[in-house]
Structure 1
Amino acid sequence: MKINNIRTIYRGACTMLLMLGLLSIHSCDDDFGDINKNYEANIYEANVPGLFAGLLQSLQKTGAHYRIPVAWLYQWNQQAAMYSASGYRLDDNTTQPWQNYYKNLANAYDIEHLIAEEEDPSSMTNIIAMTKVVMAYKTLANTLLYGDMPYTEAGKGFFDTSAFRPTYDDQQSIMHAAIDDLTWAMDNLSTSATQVSIGASDVLFGNDVSEWVKFANSLRLRYAMVMVDKDASFAEPIIADALTKPLLAADENVWLDPGVTTILNNREGFFRGNSYMRMGSTMFNAMSSTNAVDGSGIYDLRCSILFEPNEDDEWIPYPQVPDTNTPTVTGDPHIGGRLSDWNSNRSNFATFNVYYVQDHTIPQFIITGSQISFLKAEIYNRGLAGVSPNPAMAQTFYEEGITASVNFWYNHAYNSIWAVNKPAAAAPTATELNDMLSHPEVAYSADAATALSQIYKQSWIAMIHQPLEAWNLQRRTNNATPNVPLPSTSLVSDFNRLTYPPSERETNRTNWTAITGGTDSEKVKIWIQP
């Protein structure tokens, strides 16, 4: 399997030094002797390799990126079920992604300014293109969290004091601009020997231009599909063009792999404390053809890898819509002690597999080949972007996406900490895989509408480790992902976006008020939603 990895770089001290290099500080020079002379000032100077490495480092999720799914999102997109309200406050968890984005937007502009001052800026076009790819991805991800946001005037405060309080751009124009940046990057990335290499700072693809092109094009396809039903005139030409150019194969992924870097991805704390989740009935029903508690109806090969049965080894999911007869939840099944004592602290409901929770080496996906395969399946199913509907092609890509997802989880679980219910091999047998693909609940339907529902369902399952992407799919398709209607009394309802950080209300109030009307709410739909 061909995999693209990113090594994480810790430059905490360098970040502080970088900020010193970026800020212009004026002070009185009289009577202070050498106090105004920077100590080894040259080491504080911002430089292109350091700034670029920082951009790649910033692709790591913040704590809020993990907390939001377990506290709100899993219940709303129904990839899991909450049995009690989270103790977290939403407005306490919207700042980190916002700050991460705008800090790095400013750094990206600084990269462009530094390159513009070089004797031969054209020799560094590749670096500008790679910077645009990273920032386009971050821009698109951020606007899909918040909706409208500052963009054209944002990140320029170091260069233009009038941009201290930037106005908000609408989501449609932001997505246009970011996708255009991806297209520009693809058109300008070059294998010419005249291009300066970023060297060891490119820990994502090791200066492999072809991989950067493939990454950019795959992002174009993903985000054009996010907006195709709202802005077909813009999105469909992008989709048509993307299909003619290199895309991630089903077994290729762009991810941050802590298993390679020894920088472990510790997620366990987010599944405990103020997180009250179990396997939900919606997910179980998407993986099993019956409610048999012995698991005899389970046909999805990923089920026992990602989830585990209850304390009696029975597959009893927590109801997505509990009632007064629903038993009180017991156990503390996600604690690390269960790795050495499996039967301790188990729950009376099926839940996330303790190995999935405790494994610190599961990569953080940026974009997967499986997702690209499902998008292709949708395109050929619906006949989008000038492509004639082609059920055979749609089925091929649909099965390709499922296979890639199953293979990943088998391989990872086999080579990681799984012990109980560990896969027997690093990949399912041909018979096992065929049995799943040919199961009546999975086998690609001859009816196009039913088949489209299957594509959305399998894509939603495959994105269990990408809940924000599953949320994007849920929102853009108007809840066409697996779901049951949630009542107004649900622990989470109408979760359509993140509210803006409190700092926006305080420091950019005029523009914040103009976009929110003075009241901010997660229930407000963003532009991509029908």
Structure 2
Amino acid sequence: MSIINKIFKLFLVVCLLSATSCDNELTEINQNPNGVDPSQGNPSFLLTQVMVNTALDVGNKGYSGELSAFVQYTQKDSWGNNNYDWDGSGWNTYFDNLRSAKLALQRSQELGYTLHEAIAQILMAQNFVSLADYYGDVPYTDAIQADEDVILPTYDSQEAVYKGAIADFVAAAASISNNMGNLEAFGASQDIFFEGDAEKWMKYANSMALRYYMRLSEKDPSYSQAGVTATLAKPLISSVDEECALAYIGTSDGTSQPSNSSTGGASAFNRVKPCTTFTDRLRELDDPRASVWFAPVAIPIKVVPAADVPGGEDDVVVDGVRYINEETLAANGLKIYDKNTWKADRLAGLSLIDTSSTYVGLPVSYQGSEPYTYNLNPNPVQGGGNVHVSLMNDQFKEASGEFLKARVMSYAEVCFLKAEAALRGWGSDAEGNYNRGVQASLDTWGIGDEYADYIDNAEVAYNGTLAQIMEQKWIANFATASESYLDWRRTGLPDLQTGPFALSSVIPVRFQYPDEERNINEANYNAALSSLETTSHTNDVPGKYENDTPWSKPWILQGVTKPW
């Protein structure tokens, strides 16, 4: 069935299931008499809804959202946040997903649908563990207990949520494996992740378990090692065709590539720029993915001796190149961008000129306000263009396209997880898995034939270091910034630093709890706060709530040296 038909069915699902996502405390009096009775809910349609929302959350955080700025894939030159002034989001999305998944689980159990039950268990574990990833302690045992009407749930420890979710991934995979051949059908038009392929769901659950065992590698290495060793013996995602990546179909703002110009207007695309942290490294590695992700700068700048400026002028555009007399820089407070000195240069009050000939990005946290003036922009207005800074590749201007997907879990990620495990002595063939990860990423973006030349690059050829594995994983996870952020938080790799005008000298390590938790669920909220470890950066930003700040450390970072 075509993807358009799948989305048409999805819209029917959303319309039909409006009643199933209501808050637990709704009573008979305020139930919609025209809504679907939850006791009659179709688990297939419920699971479709959860899959869509789960994937869109990954995609929205991944391409042009704040986490993309956090891990320095992109920066916005207008109406954006490059200075790490963001408290996080997703709480309500995850709990909405959990309510629908919980109902799907109950209905599947009532109907005897083993595959649907396992999938509901996987999606519940995924949304719970996402909450723990970003916030720390969260409601878990008491959450979404409609039968008991728990209005003010207690918070479970981050450790309990991580290990409970991992146990659910393992159990769901085992259930599918043990019942293979006797499972009910899950229609391909409803199963938008794997089109009803139970074996792919089993591999996905095992791969998610591997991800989260590795998530605990620094905090609880003995637990992590035992889990990783056991999981590597199980079937995992083993090709690009088996990965979990949901294509955008572009029929509405919510189903389109983030920041596309088709539904969001031209400025939605134009204000997203590559970050120099990313463009610099891709240029140093001669990485072929740069041409897939970025557009060449419209008008490059060359700083040359006075005698070489055409027409004897100090600043002139000739044949699509802007020439500037190098002798005029100092008098105008200008300096050529240097990746090793630019932060000090900015703090000294200098403005920078990037003379890169092909891809020009925005430096991270370049200034306290929006950096639409960067690189001598001749049209320095909010929302205006900048011919001296690269745009993203034209494909990202579209609402949908061959390579435009919400990449929930890629084959490349699995390969890099296996390579890291082997490097730690928990698995085997670190080099082979590293190479397969690089190949998988190039295949994903349609340039697999560039692999042989790229892997021979002196800085790309496997050298047996964790830093190299994590760097290539960071590159491969472009457009999946959420996973890159959590990898950086776990390992401190790559060595990302804030810019000169960031709110703090270190990158935040968690999201702040939403206001309604502080205002309504106060006692349990305060108990959760007591589990956070304050740091020397906790109060870097005045006005945050006690130690509920992005710079307080949750359990997973307590007692470890990463990332700072």
Report what 1:422 is aligned to: none
Per the normalisation by structure 1, the TM-score is 0.77
Structure 2 counterpart of 1:18: 20
Give a deviation string over 1:160-191, Cα, whole Å, max 9, x none: 12x21111112111010000001111121144
- Structure 2 distance, partners of 1:25, 1:40, is 14
**After alignment, is 374-383 or 457-466 more displaced?**
374-383
Give the alignment of 1:445-464 within 5 angstroms. Answer: 445=463, 448=464, 451-464=465-478
- Cα distance, 1:91–1:105 mapped onto 2, change above 3 Å: farther
Using a 3 Å threshold, how does the CA distance of structure 1 residues 16 and 175 change in structure 2: closer, same or farther? Answer: same
1:286 aligns with 2:287: no
CA–CA distance in 2 between the matches of 1:329 and 1:188?
Answer: 59
CA distance in 1, matches of 2:97, 2:367: 46
1:44 shift after superposition:
8.7
What is the CA–CA distance in structure 2 between the aligned matches of 1:489 and 1:37, rounded to whole Å?
Answer: 47
Q: Which residue of 2 aligns with 1:265?
A: 256
For the residue of structure 2 that corresponds to 1:57, the secondary structure is: helix
Aligned residues: 467
**d(CA) in 2 for partners of 1:443, 1:333:** 44
Tell me which amino acid in the other structure corresponds to 2:246. L
Are the aligned partners of 1:91 and 1:499 in contact in 2 as well (CA < 8 Å)?
A: no
Q: CA deviation at 1:439?
A: 0.9
What CA distance in whole angstroms lies between the structure 1 residues aligned with 2:434 and 2:499? 29
Worse overlay, 214-223 or 501-510: 501-510
Question: For 1:318, which of 362, 369, 375 is the aligned residue?
Answer: 362
Instruction: Check if 1:196 corresponds to 2:240.
Output: no
Distance 2:75 2:135 in 1: 24
**Structure 1, 399-408 or 510-519: larger mean CA deviation:** 510-519
Deviations 1:140-167 (A, max 9, x none): 22221222211110111x2112x21111
SS in 1 for 2:152: coil
* Identity rate, percent: 22
Residue 400 in structure 1 maps to residue 441 in structure 2: no
Give the AA of the match of 1:104.
N
CA distance in 1, matches of 2:79, 2:183: 54
CA contact (8 A) 1:166 1:511 kept: yes
What is the aligned counterpart of 1:224 among 186, 209, 213? 213
Which residue of 97, 101, 104 maps to 1:104?
97
Q: Report the AA paired with residue 74 of structure 1.
A: S
Contact 1:309 1:350 in 2 (8 A): yes
Following superposition of structure 1 onto structure 2, how do residues 108-127 of structure 1 map, counting pairs within 5 Å?
A: 108-118=101-111, 123-127=112-116
2:173 is the counterpart of 1:186: yes
- Contact 1:85-1:491 at 8 Å conserved across structures: no
**1:73 matched to 2:73:** no
What secondary structure does 2:55 align onto?
A: coil
Residues in 1 aligned to 2:400 and 2:100: alpha-carbon distance in whole angstroms? 30
Structure 2 segments unaligned to the other structure (5+ residues): 301-356, 531-544
Whole-Å separation in 1 of the counterparts to 2:152 and 2:207: 33
Give TM-score scaled by structure 2 length.
0.72
Map 1:55-454 → 2, pairs under 5 A: 55-62=50-57, 66=60, 70=64, 72-81=66-75, 86=80, 94=88, 97-118=90-111, 123-156=112-145, 158-161=146-149, 163-189=150-176, 190-191=178-179, 194-199=182-187, 201-252=190-241, 253-259=243-249, 264-268=255-259, 272=267, 277-289=272-284, 299-313=286-300, 314=357, 315-320=359-364, 322=366, 327-329=375-377, 345-361=385-401, 362-384=404-426, 387=427, 393-409=429-445, 411=446, 427-429=447-449, 432-445=450-463, 448=464, 451-454=465-468
Q: Secondary structure at the match of 1:268?
A: coil
Amino acid at match of 1:350: S
Displacement of 1:5: 13
Whether contact under 8 Å (2:497, 2:506) holds in the other structure is: no
**Which AA in structure 1 matches 2:204?**
F
Inter-partner Cα distance in structure 1 for 2:55 and 2:175? 27
Cα RMSD, aligned residues only: 3.9
